Amino acid sequence: MDYNYTRSYHGRVQLVVFDWAGTTVDFGCQAPIVAFAEGFRQKGIEISMAQAREPMGREKRAHIRAITEMDEVARAWEAQYGRPVSGEDIDEMFDDFVPLLLRILPDHSQLIPGVSEAIASLREQGIRIGASTGYFREAADTVAAAAAVQGYRPDVAISSSEVAVGRPAPWLIYRIMEELNIHPAAAVVNVGDTVVDVESGLNAGVWSIGVAATGNETGLSAEEFARTPTAERQALVAAAREKLLRAGAHQVIDTMEELPGVIECINGQLGRGCSP
C-alpha cells in the first residue's frame, strides 16, 4: 500500500543561530580581511579587499584556497613562483594566518550596535541562541571571550574546525540544533552577513536571514560607515542587500535592530503552516 503523509510545523521560532564577524561583532567584518591581505603580502602577492572578501564565511583554509583560485591571483602567484599554488602552499599560508588573525582579533571583537538589544528580545521569548563561524576554534574562543565581557553569551558556539566540512555545508547549524535538541528545521533561523552564511542556512533547510549594512558585503568599518556620504553609503547597502537576496535569503535586514520584527513575521508564517 502506498502512503502520502505530509505535516507542517505550526509552532514558533525556537533557535536563532548567529554568525560572529560582521553579524554580531566586528562591524564590517574587518579582522579576517586584514589578516588575509597581510598573509598574501608576506608571500609577495597583493590582493584587493574585494578579493579578500569574496569567499568570506568559509572555513579559513578553504577561504585561502578560494582566493588563490581567482584568475588574477593565480597569475600573480605563477609570476612570483614560476608554478601554480600547491596544497603545501595552502597549508603554509594557513599556518601563517593563524597567529596573524589571533593577534588582530582583540581589536575587532566589539559588539555591533543593536546586537545586545536584539538578543535580549529573543531571550524574553524563550528563544535559544547559537553561534557558528568560519573561524577555527582558538579564534572563535577569542571572539566569544570578548563578547562575553560585553554581555553576549550564546548557548552553544561551534567553529568550522569542529565539523567535517564548513560552510556552505549545513553541519554547523545541525551541530547546534543537536546540542540544544531543537527541531524541526522550520523552528530555526540562521542569521549571517555573507552569501556563504545564507547558503548554509538554505542547505540546512532553516530560515536564512542576511545582514547587509554591518557586514562583509557592505564592507565598511563603523568609522568608515559613519563618514561615508549618505548617498554612497545607501548605494553600498542596497547592493549588499541585493546580493544577499539573490543568494536566496528569505529576508535581509540592514541592522540587527530589525531582527525581532523579522522573527515575529516568521512566527506568523509558521502559524499559517509555512516552511522555509
Residues labelled as active-site residues: 19, 60
Q: Give the residue from 230, 236, 274, 193 showing the smallest Cα distance to 26.
A: 193
- Whether residue 136 contacts residue 159, with contact meaning beta carbons closer than 8 Å, is answered with yes
First to last CA, the chain: 30
CA 202 to CA 209: how far, in whole Å?
Answer: 10
Is the Cα torsion angle 83, 168, 225, 102 positive or negative in sign?
negative
Strand ranges of the sheet holding 207-211, from the earlier edge strand across to the other edge: 156-159, 128-133, 15-19, 188-192, 207-211, 251-253
- Whether residue 152 contacts residue 31, with contact meaning beta carbons closer than 8 Å, is answered with no
Q: Which residue has the cell 599554488?
A: 85
Residue 151 per-residue DSSP state: T
Residue 24 per-residue DSSP state: T
